[in-house]
Chain A
Amino acid sequence: MTPETTHAPLLRVNNLSLRYLSASGPVTILHDVSFELGRGEILGIIGESGAGKSTLGNAIIDLLAPEFQRATGTIEFGGKAIDAADGKGSGGIRGRRISAIFQDHTASLDPLMSVGAQVEETVLATNSSLSKLQARTRTLELLARVGIPEPHKRHRNYPHQFSGGQRQRVVIAIALAGSPDIIVADEPTSALDATVQKQVLALLRNLVDETNISIVLVTHDMGVISEIADRVVVMRNGQIVEQDVTSTILDAPQNEYTRGLLAAVPRLRTSRTVSEREISKTSTTPFAERDREPPILVAKGVSKTFFAPGLQWGRLSGEAGFALQDVNIQIPRGAITGIVGESGSGKTTIGRIIAGLDTARAGWVKIGESDFDVSRNGRRTGLLGRVQMIFQDPAVSLNPRTTVGETLRESIRFGVSPVSGEEPPDMGAMMDRLGLARSLAGRHPHQLSGGQKQRVAIARALLARPQIVIADEPTSALDVSVQAEIVQLLKESVTERNISMIFISHDLALVQDLCSTIYIFRDGRVEDFGPSDFIFSHSQNPYTRSLIDARPRRFTH
């Protein structure tokens, strides 16, 4: 911390309480929130969904919907109160002194305007005395500053010609255009891959260190906090439960809730926790004789091309439209196999092909003794229905118009016909096992929490009595605390029911604890594979190493 932060806070929020006027009456969203932000400081605001952290961020930039009402409190900028209540006093501050970065870099940019023009527009809007030429020069400076290569050429390009990380850099450049004192960044890296996330966070840290601006960083991710925040405010249900210097929060949290949040963050082990000798025995030769039992599923030579007319995938990706290229994988029986990759790596596509939902261009899938040609319709070949899936977003994986009970009964009725003499599975018992109250059977999905919905999705998959379950990012839409519970349930389901699972994820730490074997996908190909221990401690593959290095150091042992 710089010395002036102690006596002259740049931003001070005093006893702020906000109410939301909903159709069913006012609801308190923020309750008595107070904190200070010093110059040249990154203040992290962390909390789970519904904590009020985004509302707080929006209150600072004065972007609240008219339904929000300030009950008590003030927001002071440089010693003067910003009056968000009538929106008048803040015009000169918002956009000039305080600017913002949002999560969705695609929605933040105008697709029909070159990025240079968008930055320039903001430069001129915040500094009208500049000439056209000066504005252009400043634009190029800003683009160079945020790390866009060759800005004098690239400024003419449109948002779709940039990668996600570059788009977010452009958004940062726009936020910087008015030389603000504060940037409010709401989940600035949540939509980015881990390796890119790391670079963008480094850029933000660098900006703060060099230009002495301050950042309010709203996030749900302890990893992001641990990487760049100086101080942390932990929020829950609209209240601050704890605030302190980052190292204190991470190492010696006082509050029970903070401790729980930290404990729920998956940690990566790269140190040689297993003795060297043991690793060399089990891991240096992937799939050694220890797997005597034949794999339950083998995918051979699976390829899929992208058919995207007019989008010119080839030119952008340089991969001539291959979504998957000659992918071979083996899924061992009774264990969890991880498929890890960044966005666009083909990890979801291979899952859908194995499940029979998508057809490939070529390839075979062998389950047990049956071979399936995946270049043909999965329903016709009989592949569809052999594998059940648990999907990423529980909000759309349940039919909003059927009740939980109807969904589960359908799964029992239409799932794989039971072996003769076997009892059909019991819905109530399954709900008990997965921690769902039986009374929830009469509810519709919108009346459930995210964690409950995902439990219903798991119950649905298991009640169909599959041999293989594919879980496609089943926890990435959930809060960390819920995430840990779901992972535990999946783990137990595999051992209790002797099923085999494919766990698709972008999160190495999650996969490490769960999976015995890991495949790392990149650009539609298997980049690296092997037993979990081997991948994390011995793999020499540079891409695997870069993925491991992209993890926040604080949560890597």
Chain B
Amino acid sequence: MKAEIIRVLRRPPFGQALTLSKVVLAAYVLLALAAPAIAPQNPYDPLQIYGWEASSPPGTVGSGGFIYLLGTDGLGRDIVSSILYGLRISLFVSITSATVAALIGLTAGVSAAYFGKWVDVAIMRLVDLQLSLPTILIALIAIVTLGPGIDRIILALIIAQWATYARVVRGIALSETGKSYMDAAKLMRLPTSRIIFRHLLPNSIASAVTLIPIEIGHAVALEATLSFLGLGVPMDKPSLGSTVANGFQYLLTGQYWISLFPGLALFGLIASINLVGEDVRRRLDPRSRSI
């Protein structure tokens, strides 16, 4: 019996949970892409917002002729529409920053491992320095230096996140450089770039790739925190995270819907990204494929 339970828990494909999260993630992406077409309201357009309907509870019929299914926020914006539009910004910012950070971090980490000596010292001390400070602090310093704007946020998130990838991938790459297929590649006198990108990198990134979905999740949270502090995306174009943050002050007065529903949307997004990410990692690793 115990063995049976352990086996079920250990089983790598998540079965229905995986299928569900794939469907959910696909739905999120589709909703984000289709937001302008399907959202009942454009929350960026002041003409479509009725300030006197601020903080309406879910189910209220609005002046725009549609029902506020999930209520409105403190400025009178429809929560459903805010979620749909916020999803676009959150996904765009976090996916872009996590991917670019991964590219930079992986290359830096693998190079540190391959070249060793001063290259390793230079890159890894910078990584140590960054990782010894809270990520939010790095992002704050970056955003304060760079100024506001979505592009700056992405840049700040890249600066804040690349070090994690570099640290993870360097350790793996270091053990890979010790394997004899790397020696064989050197004996062929392959160009250094070919050794790094064709032999070392593909064998080192498996566990760093799993970081990407998690880091996308982090990026969403980080961006929300920055927005909460007023340093994130502009208030007139709220992301999913800043919509949660906007409702925070209303929680104590019982207007739970402003934060709760965007929060649930955020939770579903991160959970489905993580599950699908785990599956992607398994598929990327040829050693886990059966013959």
Contact = CB atoms under 8 A, between A and B. Distances in A.
A296 B94 CA distance: 60
A546 interface: no
A23 B6 CA distance: 14
A329 B223 CA distance: 64
Interface stretch (A89-97, A121-129, A222-230, A408-416): A408-416
A545 interface: no
B187 A391 contact: no
B188 A410 contact: yes
Interface string B1-30: 011001100011000000000000000000
Contacts, number: 78
A391 B183 contact: yes
B203 A401 contact: yes
Contact of B188 (A385, A397, A402, A444): A385
21 contacts: A24-B290, A67-B7, A352-B183, A357-B183, A384-B186, A389-B184, A389-B187, A391-B180, A391-B183, A396-B179, A396-B180, A397-B180, A397-B183, A399-B203, A400-B181, A401-B203, A402-B198, A402-B199, A446-B291, A447-B291, A457-B184
A499 to B, nearest CB: 14
B183 A23 contact: no
A90 B217 CA distance: 49
A392 B188 contact: no
A445 to B, nearest CB: 9
A391 B286 contact: no
Contact of A392 (B3, B180, B189): B180
A350 to B, nearest CB: 15
How large, as a class, is the contact surface on chain A?
35 or more
B287 interface: yes
Secondary structure at the B interface, as helix, strand, loop or mixed, is helix
Interface string A368-399: 00000000000100001101110111001111
Nearest to B288: A446
A357 B189 CA distance: 11
Contacts of B286: 400-401, 444, 446
A187 B200 CA distance: 34
Contacts of B251: none
B7, B187, B188, B199: residue with the most chain A Cβ atoms closer than 10 Å: B187
A410 B187 contact: no
Contacts of A21: 7
A398 B181 contact: yes
Contacts of B202: 399, 401
Given A396-B179, A397-B180, A357 B186 contact: yes
Contacts of B7: 21, 66-67
B183 A464 contact: no
A499 B12 CA distance: 49
A399 B199 contact: yes
Q: Please list the 7 inter-chain residue pairs (A to B) with the smallest Cβ-Cβ separation, ordered nearest first.
A: A385-B189, A66-B3, A391-B180, A397-B180, A396-B179, A414-B188, A401-B202
A460 interface: yes
